[in-house]
Amino acid sequence: MSTLVVADTAALTGRSLRHITRSVDTIITTAVTPIAIMLLFVYVLGGAIDTGTDSYVNYLLPGILLIAIASGIAYTAIRLFTDMQSGIFERFHSMPIARSSVLWAHVLTSLVANAITVVIIVLVGFAMGFRTSASVLGWLAVAGILALFTLALTWVAVVAGLSAKSIDGAAGFSYPLIFLPFISSAFVPTDTMPGPVRWFAENQPVTSIVDSIQALFAGQPVGSDIWVALAWCVGILVLAYALAMRAYRRKIS
């Protein structure tokens, strides 16, 4: 990016982040709800679930992080849709600023907001007994996977925010994404599932991402799962980015 684009993106990102700090419901949805799910499964249902591990919270945490991210990116679509409806896009485009900075500001805001949510949930996990054998490199790998996953879903949210006809439509796209971890290895091993459900669980992106993060936290070899996870994230990112740019060009033309 040129210096102008970086400066414009930084200014607009600051504006978007200030909106988050003033929105209590954003904090509740993106942090408290996944934590409540984690508390429910660990302390109410965990005793009846056999995952082959000594600590269910160790098994569960990666899936909870993905649910939090899938929930958090819905607000990117909502903020983008609201900006369009308020006419702020037209005002920005009438000013001498880089047009791409308008979208990148929302994307960077999503990365920052979701990173904060992830840190909060990990800290709560530690308080609930989560323990890890991950090295510094393992933690960096986990952070990288989560950042890439967030980036990919954020561009999906951009497509939804640009294309939606109502604010409910802008947010509604995230519901299937939030539900995906429930049909994966995030809560129970896939080999406990009936045939068709097991096939779906083992061939959707969340399972490979969860399995990779679980292995990294346990300090174990990740095998081919990490390459499958990265392929899913990069594939979704490239496709969503292309669709977002196409939708954006239609909006500003």
Contact 229, 145 (CB under 8 A): yes
What pLDDT does residue 1 have? 47
Sequence spans of domains, the chain: 3-187+194-252
Q: What are the pLDDT digits (tens) for 199-246?
A: 999 999 999 999 999 999 999 988 899 999 999 999 999 999 999 988
What pLDDT does residue 16 have? 72
Contact 236, 205 (CB under 8 A): yes
Q: Give every residue of the chain whose pLDDT is below 70, as ranges.
A: 1-5, 8, 11-12, 23-25, 27, 86-100, 252-253
Chain centroid to Cα 216, Å, comes to 19
Residues in contact with 209: Cβ distance below 8 Å, sequence separation at least 6, in sequence order: 62, 66, 145, 149, 229, 232, 233
Amino acid at 136: V
Q: Three-state SS for 28?
A: helix
For the whole model, what pTM was predicted? 0.89
Contact 190, 208 (CB under 8 A): no
**Tokens at 176, concatenated:** 């299937």
What pLDDT does residue 187 have? 92
Largest CA distance in the chain: 60
CA–CA dist 33, 39 (Å, integer): 10
CA–CA dist 136, 42 (Å, integer): 27
